[in-house]
Homo-oligomer: A and B are copies of this chain.
Amino acid sequence: MTMLSPVGSGFDLSSVDPSSTPGFSGGKKQGKKAFDKGGAELADLQERLFADSRAGGTRRVLLLLQAMDTAGKGGIVRHVVGAVDPQGVSLHAFKAPTDEEKAHDFLWRVRAHLPAPGSIGVFDRSHYEDVLIARVRQLVPPATIEERYGQIVDFEREVVAGGTALVKVMLHISPDEQKARLAERLDRPDKNWKYNPGDVDERALWPQYMEAYQVALTRTSTDSAPWHVVPADKKWYARWAVQQLLLAALRDIDPQWPAATYDVAAEKARLAAT
């Protein structure tokens, strides 16, 4: 069984099968069961991480999600991140930049939303839009795109050095699966609001997007901030896989309950006297 490996040298996005389930040998039923078990551990580890931050710890986690439309970013947030105490999560969805954001360098708005110590931050899209749609739609000159890869690597090195475990995930679906998911949004009245005619326009640029992803993934996957491409045609698998990546990051931090900073016996006596 293939494991889900980080993007390394020689990586070829076109060789990743979006319907595969690397690292998991069972089917949907076993996948959901494993997922439910992982949620409890994730919630526990996040609470420990939060407690650690109260005692001065600086560690935190940032899950960065990139994907083609309908790949399931929203489902990851709802199901994977939803298992964690809302007080321990800071979520930001990056849209097309505002005028104010455009007046700054492309990393400015990203810095403003980095998670605080003790929390799990989630970026629904990110600074990678500035080398993905910006490249495909030629929003800036090619030389600017070229510069950005290096700026991103430097920026992420700084973020990681500051105590953040950076989990970068591309949810990878096939064009056929996207077609089926868009069709469902058109078929179901309760899903119509999720459909945008622009989705079909972007879909027409699939090969260009895959090329932009291939370049971005290989230019910005580093030892300290690696990319993972998660096959996402099977929703249950993608959710389990992203949960595993978060669990691995948190287990690596291994946050511990902080020791009391006061005299426990003395406080017990004070409380008893009330």
Q: Give chain B nearest CB distance to A188 CB in angstroms.
A: 9
Residues of B within 8 A of A262 (CB): 195, 197
Closest B residue by C-beta to A75: B85
Copy tally for this chain in the complex stands at 2
Task: Tell me if A54 counts as interface (CB < 8 A to partner B).
Answer: yes
Partner of A192, one of B186, B203, B258: B258
Task: Tell me if A26 counts as interface (CB < 8 A to partner B).
Answer: no
CB-based contact B91/A203 at 8 Å: no
Task: Tell me if A274 counts as interface (CB < 8 A to partner B).
Answer: yes
Chain A interface SS verdict (over half): helix
Supposing A193-B257, A257-B193, A260-B195 touch, asked if A200 and B86 sit within 8 A by C-beta, the answer is no
Q: Give chain B nearest CB distance to A107 CB in angstroms.
A: 23
Report the count of interface residues on A (CB-CB < 8 A): 41
CB-based contact B193/A268 at 8 Å: no
Q: Give chain B nearest CB distance to A273 CB in angstroms.
A: 9
Residues of B within 8 A of A87 (CB): 74, 77-78, 91, 93, 124
A1 CA to B89 CA in the complex, in Å?
39
